[in-house]
Amino acid sequence: MIRMNRALVFNVVAPIFLILVPSIVFAQAPRTIEITAGKDNKFKVTGEKTPVITLKPSEVVKLHVISQKGPEFEKDGTAHSITIKELKDKGWNMRFKEGTFDFTAVAPDKPGTYEAICDVKCGKGHDDMKMKVIVK
């Protein structure tokens, strides 16, 4: 059995414990942002007048997406997507059928304004189905 002397406990172990425990106990779940991808082929962000999401660099968020099937959709039932073309390989290519879905997303690490589009042909107005993602 290993014995620790008091100096080791107070000088090494205690400070580590005091740093780690609060960060574990007070760690917050990712912020939830509710988005509706409507049957009218428009994005709506709950609490916003226009479809805009504002994030901090590298912020982890939960996107709660309510997807309503419009007049057109893909053969597999996919109704809409949220896609940022330049960030597709970083998880910003979320596709969904009709229903409610939760996605975890990480904001880009560089501040800027990004355009999120629906890249599923969903009906009249599809080309205007856009949303801004602002990182600042």
Quick check: 81 and 94 in contact, CB under 8 A?
Answer: yes
Domain ranges of the chain: 31-135
Helix, strand, or coil (residue 90) = helix
Answer whether 0.85 is exceeded by the pTM: no
Tens-digit pLDDT string for the chain (136 aa): 555 555 544 554 444 544 444 444 457 799 999 999 999 999 999 999 999 999 999 999 999 999 999 899 999 999 999 999 999 999 999 999 999 999 999 999 999 999 999 999 999 989 999 999 999 9
Say whether 75 sits in a helix, a strand or coil.
Answer: coil
CATH architecture of 31-135: Sandwich (2.60)
